[in-house]
């Protein structure tokens, strides 16, 4: 049976949650990720990671929420950001409604990870965690992940992560040939326009596979290592 909640009937959902009362909520946004990655990278990666984790831990995965806040590049092409006043209530309502159905454990995982987004999901986790409900908040750059590549925006880290999850979404050949000496990646003429971090063209298949495996294993461990962690002590 699939772990994707939206594909299941109510009976299927109740059967799955009877085995593990856990729902993952992946978050992302629609934004520019260079010429080589999809604009939905954040949500695609978060959703795929959550599904891989759920295959090991049990539980179900909610459809990804394609809105995010922060990052400082809201004016880039094909970028649609919102704000805390919009996303906060939506996220809290989603968590609360799942709690109403009797969920015991909810994991917020955001593939979009500027400080504003991380602060929001941490605040929601703290506020919604209560006796009987555990809410955790994670991202690819959560403290303790100790990954082999440092987090970035559309650079070596995110490109490697996408390649490790689904290489069909990585199009390094679409990065334009350098025709100028522009050194400002906010300059449209730079081939790495909008890329923050090391050159994604240095990605290797081995590095991508290791990065993805390490991140999935880390999240699985966070969920399974402390199953009895106090409900009033969110991570």
pLDDT in the model for residue 188: 85
Split at pLDDT 50, 70, 90, the class of 232 is: very low
- For residue 21, give the 3-state DSSP assignment: coil
Q: Does any domain span residue 231? A: no
Domain with 116, as residue range(s), is 5-224
pLDDT band, residue 177 (cuts 50/70/90): confident
Distance, in Å, from the CA atom of 100 to the CA atom of 91, rounded to the nearest integer, reads 14
Is there a domain that residue 200 lies in?
A: yes
Summarize the confidence of residues 64-78 as an average pLDDT. 92
Ramachandran bin of 176, using left for φ above 0, alpha for ψ from -120 to 50, beta for the remaining angles: beta
Residue 26 in domain: yes
With respect to residue 232, please indicate whether it lies within any of the assigned structural domains.
Answer: no
Q: What is the mean pLDDT of residues 83-89?
A: 97
- Supply the CATH number for residue 181's domain: 3.40.50.10310
Residue 165 domain-assigned? yes
The count of domains in the chain is 1
Question: Is the residue at 206 inside a domain?
Answer: yes
* CA terminus-to-terminus distance, the chain: 30
Condensed to tens digits (0 to 9), the pLDDT of residues 24-57 reads 999 999 999 999 999 999 999 999 999 999 999 9
Least confident of 69-73, 166-170, 209-213, 214-218: 69-73
Is residue 231 predicted with pLDDT exceeding 50? no
What pLDDT was estimated at residue 36? 98
Q: How far is CA 21 from the centre of its chain?
A: 21
Please report whether residue 234 resides in a domain: no
**pLDDT digit string, tens, across residues 97-123:** 999 999 999 999 999 999 999 999 999
The model's pLDDT over 119-156, given as tens digits with 9 standing for 90+, comes to 999 999 999 999 899 999 999 999 999 999 999 999 99
Evaluate if pTM is beyond 0.85.
yes
What integer pLDDT is reported at residue 60 of this predicted model?
98
Q: How far is CA 62 from the centre of its chain?
A: 12
């Amino acid at each position: 049976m699939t772990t994707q909640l939206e594909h299941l009937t109510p009976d299927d959902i109740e059967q799955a949650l009877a085995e593990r009362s856990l729902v993952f909520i992946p978050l992302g946004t629609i934004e520019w990720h260079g010429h080589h990655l999809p604009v939905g990278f954040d949500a695609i990666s978060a959703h795929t990671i959550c599904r891989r984790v759920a295959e090991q831990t049990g539980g179900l995965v909610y459809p990804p929420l394609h809105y995010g806040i922060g990052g400082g590049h809201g004016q880039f092409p094909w970028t649609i950001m919102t704000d805390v006043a919009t996303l906060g209530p939506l996220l809290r309502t989603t968590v609360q409604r799942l709690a109403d159905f009797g969920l015991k454990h909810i994991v917020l995982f955001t593939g979009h990870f500027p400080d504003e987004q991380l602060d929001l999901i941490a605040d929601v986790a703290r506020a919604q965690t209560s006796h009987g409900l555990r809410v955790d908040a994670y991202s690819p750059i959560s403290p303790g992940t100790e990954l082999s590549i440092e987090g970035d925006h559309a650079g070596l880290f995110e490109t490697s992560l996408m390649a490790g999850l689904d290489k069909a979404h990585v199009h390094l050949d679409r990065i334009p040939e350098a025709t100028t000496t522009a050194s400002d990646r906010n300059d449209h003429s730079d081939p790495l326009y909008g890329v923050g971090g090391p050159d994604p063209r240095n990605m290797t298949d081995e590095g991508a596979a290791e990065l993805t495996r390490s991140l999935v294993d880390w999240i699985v461990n966070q969920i399974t290592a402390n199953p009895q962690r106090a409900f009033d002590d969110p991570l």
